[in-house]
Structure 1
Amino acid sequence: MKLPKALSKNVKLLILDEPTAALNENDSENLLDLLMELRSQGMSSIIISHKLNEIKKVANSVTIIRDGQSIETLDTADITEDRIIKGMVGRSLTNRYPDHQPKIGDTFFEVKNWSTYHPVQSDRQVVKDVNLTIRRGEIVGIAGLMGAGRTELAMSMFGKSYGKKTTGEMIKEGKKLDLSNVTQAIEAGIAYVSEDRKEYGLILMDDIKQNITLANLKKITNKTVLNENEEHVVAEEYRKKMNIKTPSVKQIVGNLSGGNQQKVVLSKWMFSEPDLLILDEPTRGIDVGAKYEIYTIMNQLADQGKGILVISSELPEIIGMCDRVYVMNEGRITGEVNRSEATQETLMKYMTKSRG
């Protein structure tokens, strides 16, 4: 974290942009406690966050920004999550997660005895004998603390884009898959939305249409010639379908808000026509309005018969969206919980359990 470096400069005003985005619950609490301690010592702080409970805990006042404009500033007595949400989305949001009646079919994807080692520390096993199944129309969650091996599992499944000495089987529709690279994974109908959209999900200097079509160029290419008109048509279709807030698909992706960037990433992988969509922290760093839209898209994809595998550090999101949850700790699956049994207490019990 860059906070110690900032504090070493004896600053009077500290600006923190999503400081807890990559932290677990305990570390987040410790950081917020530190901010309140610094406040008691006379230091002022500006914290930018989409985690409303954190804002409510530490802020003396809250300024709500929507579409680049200040909406209102609330004093301590007026700070409630409902009031902040209304200002952020322009309306009351009575339910954080859209109502959904799942249409779950048969198992179509299986992972058996999946293991992988760290790409540099060759003796360090980071994923250990993982077994999981996904049914059509099902949203399956993976919960766990930081370092549990969730992202490493997802990336190693996606064409072995992480790790070495990867072993185990992936089976789709009863057929064993041989996915040695990302291209083979895409061709097999698997897509992976990275937790770091700016590093792995987007080409920030390119425009929206180029990013959306990137994972399935062959669909709009005649031999080796890209059909630019078709590219524009496809991008415009997804702009409307995904409610990407931009005047043109020629807009540079790096200039979009976090929520709209995430919609571009989702559009890219939807255009690749996957059967299994792996979402790694799909709502990290975006506002509650954009989160709700992405949750709705997830439900729509599941209703189309796709399987969704969701990794999230936010337990309310896992509980609110997933039909079934696997819990990981120390590279292993330590528990499997159905939606009806999923509580934060139950998941935390498995998240701190050493053996499955």
Structure 2
Amino acid sequence: MTDELAARVRAAVGAVSDPELRRPISELGMVRDISVEGGTARVGIVLTIVGCPAATRIESDVRAAAASVPGIDAVEVAVGVMTPAERAELTEKLRAGRPARQMPFGPDSLTRVIAVTSGKGGVGKSTVTANLAVALAARGLAVGLVDADVHGFSIPGLLGLVDADGLPPHPTRIDDLMLPPVAHGVKTISIGMFLRRGRSDEPLGAVAWRGPMLHRTVQQFLTDVYFGDLDVLLLDMPPGTGDVAISVGQLLPHADVVVVTTPQAAASDVAIRSGLVARQTGQRVVGVVENMAGLTLPDGTTVDLFGSGGGAEVAAALSHEGEEVPVLASIPLSPELRADGDAGTPVVVTHPDDPAAVAITRLAERLGGPRGLAGRSLPIRPS
């Protein structure tokens, strides 16, 4: 009877999910000896690294899981750390047989890669990307987000991935793999997570890198960060057609591209260029998002602060014979969208009925989910 009870405890504990790896700890080799004596369960687990930031939550979840088994009156949890050999075995398992530093988002991947671009800064591209990622995750998709705007990173703040001092969290490292922090169901990586400041009253450090360093950073985000199995990977691109846009075109030539613009000609004229450069690298422009469109006032009148028609102009300019580029969404100016972005609480979560949130949610529905299998080879052979 005691052995049977211990087996039930092992099953319950093994089902606990690691909050960073998002997999049961039994699959990760984190469960050790489990015994039951006189209604007391003694559970041994190991963490991946010393100082694991999820240690308290894992121990609490393990204790609760063991205590939930009928017949268990008390739980004692012993916490250790994996040996270097065990960590190496774990990273090998997480790579699923891929060599180290090999990008998992190649042309045969089921993950749909969407690069969100703009011609110039200040059009709300990052705000749209952050909220789009959260809206996709709310639809039940596994979503990753790469903040590729290395010089002007803002994604951690928009998603609320900051501590009491306003600093983004460091990714946890397991040997040469980095685990991206998660916010609102979105696994996120940004250069801001690797910068620090000397004093609490100093601003977060700036990045003054040129082409080779920028290329290497984006490449490492795609190869050394463990996102797991994703349905969609979003990239918040820097504005314009510079080094990062070219690097992403080389690394992910099969990516889909969404161009963000405001209605005014000064933004839309430049936005066209970002779409043309993406197409030159082989990427496919799937649509245009017009941000900061007309704001409808309580009396029913509309204020076109930035004019109108810019999104349609970009879409028409990027369309060509046999491939029409649609306007996927027109997102109105929204005080809530701005305020929630400053607060690090995406508007699609805090004010889902706001017109901007509704437009972004519809954008997520139009973009859909992962890539299909049509036209791609599968790693199987007939027997």
Same fold (TM over 0.5): no
Measured against the shorter chain, the TM-score band is: under 0.3
Of Structure 1 and Structure 2, which has the larger fraction of its residues in strand? 1
TM-score normalized with structure 2 length: 0.25
Bigger Rg, which one: 2
Compare relative contact order (CA 8 Å, sep 6+) and give the higher one, 1 or 2. 1
